[in-house]
Structures are given as C-alpha cells and as structure tokens.
Amino acid sequence: MKKIHLQEIDGNSTGYLGLLAFLGAFVLAALGSTYYMEHNGHWVTGMNNQIVWGMPHVFAVFLIVAASGALNVASIASVFNKKIYKPLAPLSTLLALALLLGGLMVLVLDLGRPDRLVVAMTYYNFKSIFAWNIILYNGFFLIVGIYAWTNLDRTMKKYSRYAGFVAFIWRLALTTGTGSIFGFLVARSGYDMALMAPMFIIMSFSFGLAIYLLVLMAAYNWTGRPLGDVIIMRLRKLLGVFVAAVLYFVIVYHLTNLYATEHHGYEAFILLGANGGGTYSSIFWVGQILIGSLLPLAMIYAPGVANDRKTLAAACVLIIIGGLAQMYTIIIGGQAYPMEMFPGMEVLESTFADGQVAQYSASLPEIMLGLGGMAVAMIAVAIGIKVLGFLPQSLDDAIADPHHKAE
C-alpha cells in the first residue's frame, strides 16, 4: 500500500461556488421559515398539542442518527484496524460532525425557546434522557473533533487509535441515547421498548453509510480525483448488510408489538392503516419498506442488476428517503395514535382530541427547516474539504487497497 496524501480541494470552480449557492438558498429558506414559525407561534405549522414534534424533528433525528453512522467508516479503520478504511477516516469524521451540526441546528430552531440554549447547556436534570442527549451531542463534537485532529495531524497520529476507540464507544452511547428518547416513553403505545436503542444504532449504520457513500462519490467525481472500485464495492456490500439489519430490527419490533394484545391497536394503525392510520401505513409500506429497504437491497444484491456507481448512488438516495419515512412513521405515527385515555372504551368523537387520532400534515416551513439542516451539513462538508485535507488525493485501487496487485 502506497502512502496516502491528504489534500484540500481547490474550491474555486464555478461548480463548487454554485453548489454553495444552491445549498445556501436552502439555508436561507430554513432561516426564513424559522423566523415565520417563531414569530407567529407553532400553530402556523401542522403541529398541535397532540403532535408536538413535527417534520423538523423527523429531519433532526434522522441527521443526528446518520451523524453517528457516518463515523462508522472511521471506526472500522481505527477500532477494527482495517487498513483499507484508513484513508477514508478523515472524511468520515468530518461528515459525522457536519451531520450532527445540521441535525442540531434543526432541533434547536424547532425548540419553543431556541434563545434558551444556554439554559439547556447549564441546567441538567440527570434523570432526563433528553439531558443526557445534550451531553452526548456536545461530547460527540469534542471527541470526534479530537479524533479528526489525530487523523489530520501527523504529530498526533499515534493517538488516533485511542481517540477512535473513545469516539466509537461515544457514538454507540449517543445513538443509544437518541433511541432511548423514544424507548423510555411509557405513555404512548408505539414506544416503551428497549429495542429502540439498538434499532437506532443499526439505523445509524445504514443511513450514515448511505450519506457517506454519496458524499464520497460526489466529492471524487466533481473534483476529478481517482476513486477505485475496491473501496466502493466493499462499502456497497457493507451497506447491503446494514439495510438488511435495519429490516430485521423493524420486523422484530413489529412482531414483539403484535404479540402483546395491548399494542394490537397501534400495529393495526401503522401496518394496516386502521382507524385513520392510512397515511402512516402508506409511508411505512411504500416509503420505509419498499423504497427504503427492499429496492436498495435488490439494487445491491440482485443478480443482473447493473453493478455500477449510478445504481449504488440511486440505492443510497432511496435509503435516505426510506430513512426519513422510517423516522416519520416512528415520530409522527407514534404521536398520532391516541393515548389510551379510557381503557376498554372506544372513543368515537371527542371535543378536544382525547382518545382520537391526531391530525397532522407537515407545513412548508417545517419541511424547509428540515432541508435547511441537510444543506448546513453539506455546506460544512464542502467548506471542510476546502480548508483542511480531509480527502486523500487519490483513492485509486493501487493506492487504497493494501492487497492490490499490479496487473
């Protein structure tokens, strides 16, 4: 294996500036949306007292989960000492930090009082999983930041393995915390399950790697740097395993719920669209299962499907769409299903929505805020690879693959 050279991109081309302008437009739209929602109050969104977390949280939680997953490639290099992944590690750390930044931006701007961020940072109720998440997010920035430093600075290289190990443990803790925000909720039928934490971890592997692959291929394609097939094909197979694993966890989650009679109502709501759950069952079956799981699996594994990068990129896009659909089903579907206020009674009509399916349709400002978070993450990556050498000059097979044999 030859020496890897990390080098900044030029970042002066029209294409690069155009990309920044394109993403910047989304950020501006997100800020405008935030101003509109904050100025008028959240009644201008689709949110109400039943659906308190709407579309912005779907994006925010997706990005936060994907952030810890994006670090996966670096973890394979440092913790499991796989040489072929080592040149990929710097971009992995950058993408992880960028996605978390985007996710947290959406999360904070969707708070009732984003101006009280300092209160959230200074008052901690250690019984709250939400407070633990604030600590985990801040710690992630610090630890992954140090880890990125050890990857970029040759004098710090000797600490890279240790930093990578701490970052790996921390990212598992972070996604456990994010999953437990839902897993610890006893009041609502769709949650209250320990499986949420490991399911979120496996979701992070899948979403994070899909975004990583897209960014990697785009960065090398647009900068004209060589990117060998060995790395892409390895990551492709890994992605397939992760998508299948997410599907497995989803099946176990629903089977567990189906076994308990008390959750039958919720399962009928999500799986069959009973009692007004039609939107959620469509999003589940079409968005999460078909688009997010089965199609990508077929595109990765099915014999006869073109084994090229375009198909892989399309599969990655589908996984991201499916991931957002999964978040929507979990977050919005779980809130829309009514709480069991009158056990044993069927509520046909209610004056203030008690015992009834909550109505929600995402408003444009909410969607723009979420997309703005994605744009912020991508801008951070674009600027990151311009100012620091996160990208190897070449990931040609001859350079990247330790087992490469010259033909």
Residues that bind another protein (CB under 8 A): 38, 41-43, 48-50, 52-53, 111-113, 116-117, 119-120, 123-125, 127-131, 133-134, 181, 184-188, 335, 339-341, 343, 345, 347, 350-354
CB of 317 to another protein, least distance (A): 31
Between 118 and 302, whose beta carbon lies closer to another protein?
118
- Closer residue to another protein, CB minimum distance, 82 or 188: 188
Q: How far is the CB of 21 from another protein (least distance, A)?
A: 33
Measure Cα distances from 139 to 62, 78, 161, 169 in Å: 19, 19, 18, 11
Residue 67 CB, nearest distance to another protein (Å)? 19
Nearer to another protein, 224 or 344 (CB): 344
Q: Closer to another protein at the Cβ: 88 or 193?
A: 193
Closer by beta carbon to another protein, 108 or else 383: 108
Cβ distance to another protein smaller for residue 141 or 285: 141
What is the closest distance, in whole angstroms, from the C-beta atom of residue 375 to another protein in the complex?
Answer: 23
Q: How far is the CB of 37 from another protein (least distance, A)?
A: 10
We find the least distance from the C-beta atom of residue 326 to another protein, in angstroms, to be 18
